Amino acid sequence: MGGVSDRRGAIEKGTWTMFTVRFGHDRGHAERGWLDSWHSFSFGEFHDPEHMGFRGLRVINEDRVQPAKQFGTHSHRDMEIVSYVLEGELEHRDSMGNGAVMVPGDVQRMSAGRGVTHSEGNPSHVNIVHFLQIWLLPSAKGISPSYEQKTFSRAQKQANLCLIASPDGRDGSVTLHADARMYAGCFDHGESAVYRPAPDRHTYLFVARGVVLINGRELRAGDGGSQSGPDELTIVGESQSEVLVFDLA
């Protein structure tokens, strides 16, 4: 595989036709000992006016939390928050009385609405937890807080873009209070899928692990990209990989 310089040389100013690339190493980075966090968009102390989000997608944080460490209790409001575990276990507790331990394959949606407090952390004393925290702007403010968690098997995602979150909860997905859809796919070497957005929609793709070809170009774990309009995205696995695709208003 080519290095970073090779990839940049292949992509003039980070753009392939209508697909604009956000390289993983260009993200914001926070290292706090117990937490290693990468921010695709502005978050906390990382401010990048050119990357404040994309359409209704406000946050993609890739977090690794050390054993027996946690984010303390904190509050949110008027945000749709999705947690997606890649490795290890993630424990969640909130002011609605919910408590759960998530493992890879689990998808959790928390609608903060008019206000909720929660904590999340690593219950293991041995293993790191590696997960994505995703924030989406809600369609309406001040709704009642709510919580939902579902499991999607590897088989459902293998060589396929599986719908995991949507406004109407169709196909067993978790229900978002936002005009957005989330898909997850796992691709081994040579496995592929094509994503065909509607003409009036916007797409953001994030590589959660491994290496993939997007329309013939290489993206690696931590890389992402966005486009507006109906151009197809062809995803081909180069190594054991996992990809999230966001369909946005």
CATH 3.30.70.20 fits 4-248, yes or no: no
Report CA dihedral (237, 169, 57, 182) to the nearest 10 degrees.
0
pLDDT value at position 17?
Answer: 53
Going from the C-alpha of 34 to that of each of 67, 85, 185, the distances in angstroms are 8, 17, 29
Tell me the pLDDT of the chain averaged across its residues: 93
Q: What is the mean pLDDT of residues 6-18?
A: 47
What number of residues does the chain have?
A: 249
| 7: confidence class by pLDDT, cuts 50, 70, 90 | very low
| 35: confidence class by pLDDT, cuts 50, 70, 90 | very high
pLDDT value at position 5?
Answer: 34
Helix (H) or strand (E) holding 182, with range, is: strand 180-187
- pLDDT over threshold 90, residue 73: yes
| 13: confidence class by pLDDT, cuts 50, 70, 90 | very low
**Are 120 and 70 a contacting pair, CB within 8 Å?**
yes
Tell me the C-alpha distance between 3 and 26, whole Å: 15
Amino acid at 23: F
Tell me the C-alpha distance between 78 and 88, whole Å: 29
Tell me the C-alpha distance between 46 and 42, whole Å: 5
| 6: confidence class by pLDDT, cuts 50, 70, 90 | very low
- Where in the chain are the domains? 4-248
| Bigger pLDDT: 4 vs 200 | 200
Q: What is the mean pLDDT of residues 115-123?
A: 97
pLDDT value at position 2?
Answer: 34
- pLDDT over threshold 70, residue 16: no
In the sheet where 129-136 sits, what is the strand order? 28-31, 35-39, 57-65, 129-136, 80-87, 106-111, 146-151
Q: What is the mean pLDDT of residues 22-42?
A: 97
In the sheet where 217-220 sits, what is the strand order? 192-195, 233-237, 211-214, 217-220
**pTM of the predicted protein model:** 0.92
